[in-house]
Structure 1
Amino acid sequence: MGETMGATGPLDGIRVIDLSTVVMGPYAAQILGDLGADVIKIESPVDAVRTGEYRTTPGMTPLNLNVNRNKRSVALNLKDETGRAQALALISTADVLITNMRPGALDRLGLNYDDVAERNRRLVYAHAQGYRSDSARAGNAAYDETVQAASGLVDIADRAMGTPVYLPTILADKVSALVIVYSVLAALVHRDRTGLGQQIEIPMTDTLLAFNLVEHLAGHVYEPAHGTTGFPLSMSKGHRAVRTKDGLACVIPYNPRNFRDMFAAAGRPDLVEDPRVNAETIDGADIDALFELTAECAAALTTAEWADVCTKHSIPMAPVLQLDRVHEDEYVREGHLLDTVEHPTEGRIRTVGIPMRFSATPGSIRRLAPVPGQHTEEVLADLAII
């Protein structure tokens, strides 16, 4: 697959300028591209997502390939007067601009919201950064780990697992990217009603804090507090996947009947009669012990046998997907969640599918991630900028 045109999805006709680096902004812009937008990425001379391991072409790292498809790459030196003028001309034609540059840098380059809104009043200007622009931390550097810490996620992990680990995924970046996407879409709806764009600020720390507090504010929802913070089920020491006779699985009973059916399948009639699983609901004080019994019973059956039992009795269950074998997984293959394609410079690669499905305007992968500056002349010529 190189570059293909055709039906592009519900955002066909929307132009997005991606003036962002690393993961958060580029991932958001890629999603908009998957949904049909024409995404033009203004390449920074140095982007961390292009550094690291690569197979064939410098800059074409695995992470880059996963956040920069469905884009055209334009290499511009924004510190140069000509490059800056070309960037402003591009932005003048756009519906959306996404950036995670620090406010001071945007001011120096003449690319803050006021600067570009003078040229394009319909522009939706999405600016993501670590902290709110009106806070004392506004200028602080922010990385996924610092945001996990500042949003309370590390405290949640410490209390639940006994160690202050960072979650082994760039959660803050990716959650913030999704918030960028839905914020941009909402602003486009507003623009269609009023004719006017607007500035959107997406602070990563605020975003992840709001995300975490949905369930973990818990007893502190009330004033005064009516209990501690932390969602009891998630905070349980036994809230983890279990080892079956032949592998790993999520077997997670959620109500007394689930527990009784699971204990019966494991050959533990003594536990079926346990008063803790014969009440109307599970007492939160018992959940740790019951999860430990779940782990103990899991070894009685294979993962496939547990799948049959849990399907029959409506017990939540899923095998643990091994990432090294994700391309072999039947569910993944059937849903085209990971396909092998031919990249123009990298050869055969695997590309992640589009998870959302539209009945009338499906998204599509029309362009695989470009090399830096691949479309500079094409884009500028098409827009009569050179």
Structure 2
Amino acid sequence: MQTSTKPTSQPQTSSALEGIKILDLTSVVFGPYASQILADYGAEVIKVESPEGDSTRNTGPRLEEGLSAIFLGVNRNKKSICLNLKDPQARDALLKLADTADVLMHSVRPQKMAALGLDHETLLARNPKLIYAGLHGFGNGGAYAGRPAYDDIIQGLSGIADIMTIQSGTPRYLPTIAADKTCGVAAAHAILAALFQRERTGRGQFIEIPMFETMTSYVLVEHLYGHHLPGHSDEIGYPRVLTEWRKPYRTSDGFVCMMPYTDKHWRTFFSQSGYPQHAADERFTSISMRTRHIAELYELAGQIVSKHPTAHWLDFCDTHEIPAAAANKLADLESDPHLKSVDFFTDIQNDAGHRYRFTRSPIRMEHSRVDPVMAPRLGEHTRAELIRAGLSVEIVDKMLSSGAAKQHAGSSDKN
């Protein structure tokens, strides 16, 4: 097959989503993480906040008011405008912004958006090319539709607290905002898929990303297990990841993350560590048998690993091509040799002279690059963006005076 050498007629852009305008009415982590992913691909994300601002602006340590740690983690590369959507002028301003937007995403309960006249039917009638993304707790039409949802609630409902109970004996949530972030990734790819479909059809659409359904799907990838075979198996939950012995192995001086997985890995591990009798043990000779006896296998491996220091096992696994790594502490990540060598962390100094540290997008694209930009102050871009949307200077100034809109004190029309 010959490859065409004709130059492409497509315009060259500096980022994958350059020219895509997103109105982001989400808050906390679920929605902001999704919109940050899209901003990292080059979309112009305009964060629409209430006069009180996103609650995460006040979560964690801060150098200045409204720029707290959790907010910084999910709001880089965005602009911020501040509107009181209960005010008719602010609502009209948002509609004006939505008329030229590619995406509007929100995490407000659907009934509240309808009461404000900002439901998807209304906005799609005005702008048929709009992607209207509802990031909800529960799917419309379901028994739980319209209920509020936070990460802890969804972790509990989706079975995470239960699988923690099976493994440890105590119902617990994962010590990370797992539901918000997992569903945020799902929301980002759903929006990208809708944008791709619009390229083909010219039509926008309403899309819904419900947390409960999304997280349940995520958990059941491996844990539906025998229930994939209704009437033939009552087993639910993947034994390998549920055993209490699935954890970093304790060495004689610390911990190591070691993952013999294939038949060859386990034969090599046992025979080369001085325990050839276990390599021939029928309980451990195939993946199906190892899965059946996973607790015994991991307990036995743990006893063997405990006899030597971490460095020994890292060298052993490197020599015998068994996957292994050190168990990083959170405080180790900024000095991790790999993360340093790929410039994963970057420091930004803002106009107040404060230094902030951000991660970059983990994704690298040959023809798209977006460097991290400082997260915005509350209402930093209100005046400039409303004027850019076509509102007159007089109307915008009146909105700012009445409280329908709010502008950060140090901002200017140049933003």
TM-score by length of 1: 0.93
Distance 2:149 2:75 in 1: 21
Q: Quote how far apart the aligned CAs of 1:165 are.
A: 0.6
Partner deviation per Cα, 1:19-60 (whole Å, 9 max, x = no partner): 111011111111101100011111123322112333221121
- Note if 1:336 corresponds to 2:340: no
Higher relative contact order (CA 8 A, sep 6+): 1
- Note if 1:44 corresponds to 2:56: no
Equivalent position SS for 1:22: coil
Letter in 2 for 1:236: T
Equivalent position SS for 2:16: coil
- Note if 1:166 corresponds to 2:167: no
Task: State the match for 1:376 in structure 2.
Answer: 382
- Note if 1:296 corresponds to 2:303: yes
- Note if 1:243 corresponds to 2:250: yes
Task: State the match for 2:63 in structure 1.
Answer: 56
Distance 1:98 1:336 in 2: 31
Distance 1:135 1:285 in 2: 38
Letter in 2 for 1:148: Q
Tell which structure's C-alpha radius of gyration is larger: 2
Distance 1:45 1:249 in 2: 48
Correspondence for 1:259 among 240, 255, 266: 266
Distance 2:20 2:287 in 1: 53
For structure 1, which segment, 223-232 or 110-119, has the greater mean C-alpha deviation from structure 2 after superposition? 223-232
- Note if 1:18 corresponds to 2:24: yes
Aligned length: 380
Taking only aligned residues, the RMSD between alpha carbons, in angstroms, comes to 1.9
Task: State the match for 2:37 in structure 1.
Answer: 31
Q: Percent identity?
A: 38
Distance 1:276 1:256 in 2: 12
Superposition pairs of residues 184-203 of structure 1, within 5 angstroms = 184-203=191-210
Partner deviation per Cα, 1:181-236 (whole Å, 9 max, x = no partner): 11111111111111110000111000011111111111000121424110121112
Distance 1:281 1:150 in 2: 30
Partner deviation per Cα, 1:150-180 (whole Å, 9 max, x = no partner): 1122222211221111111111111111111
Distance 2:354 2:272 in 1: 49
- Note if 1:323 corresponds to 2:345: no
Letter in 2 for 1:17: L
Distance 1:90 1:97 in 2: 10
Q: Quote how far apart the aligned CAs of 1:293 are.
A: 1.3
Q: Quote how far apart the aligned CAs of 1:280 are.
A: 7.6
Letter in 1 for 2:239: P
Correspondence for 2:86 among 79, 82, 86: 79
Cα 1:280–1:29 change in 2 (3 A) is closer
Task: State the match for 2:182 in structure 1.
Answer: 175
Cα 1:55–1:279 change in 2 (3 A) is closer
- Unaligned 5+ residue runs, structure 1? 1-5
Task: State the match for 1:351 in structure 2.
Answer: 358
TM-score by length of 2: 0.87
- Note if 1:228 corresponds to 2:239: no
Letter in 1 for 2:39: G
Cα 1:292–1:326 change in 2 (3 A) is same
Distance 2:161 2:227 in 1: 18
- Note if 1:148 corresponds to 2:155: yes
Give the conservation status (yes or no) of the 8 Å contact 2:317–2:324. Answer: yes
Give the conservation status (yes or no) of the 8 Å contact 1:56–1:346. Answer: no
Equivalent position SS for 1:118: helix
Distance 1:343 1:292 in 2: 51
Equivalent position SS for 2:209: strand
For structure 1, which segment, 109-118 or 200-209, has the greater mean C-alpha deviation from structure 2 after superposition? 109-118
Cα 1:79–1:7 change in 2 (3 A) is same
Correspondence for 1:67 among 68, 71, 74: 74
Task: State the match for 1:123 in structure 2.
Answer: 130
Equivalent position SS for 1:74: strand
Correspondence for 1:217 among 224, 227, 239: 224
